[in-house]
Amino acid sequence: MKLARIVYLLIILSSIIITPYAVKYATSIRGYKAYGGEYLIPILGWIIATIFYEICNTIHQRKKLKSRRKKHE
């Protein structure tokens, strides 16, 4: 679970770090300042990180439950 937390934080931090570069790139391509999908990168990163973390958490809980069942048999 510790690894899942580290990956969770890395995904969120990398999406936050990438956002200003994406905004600069989009502005240079468009030729003017506008608000587009590049501002949603941190939100998308958070969604992906949360889904990943929840999957890891569910797998971890199922493994614990399975090992408890084997002990009681």
Domain that holds residue 22: 2-72
The structural domain count of the chain equals: 1
H or E segment at 10? Answer: helix 2-30
Measured between alpha carbons, how far is residue 40 from residues 3, 12, 18, 45, 46 in Å? Answer: 26, 12, 11, 9, 10
Q: How far apart are CA 50 and CA 32, in angstroms?
A: 34
CA distance 13 to 56: 19
Report if pTM > 0.95. no
Per-residue pLDDT 10s for the chain (73 aa) are 789 999 999 999 999 999 999 999 999 999 999 999 999 999 999 999 999 999 999 999 998 888 877 776 6
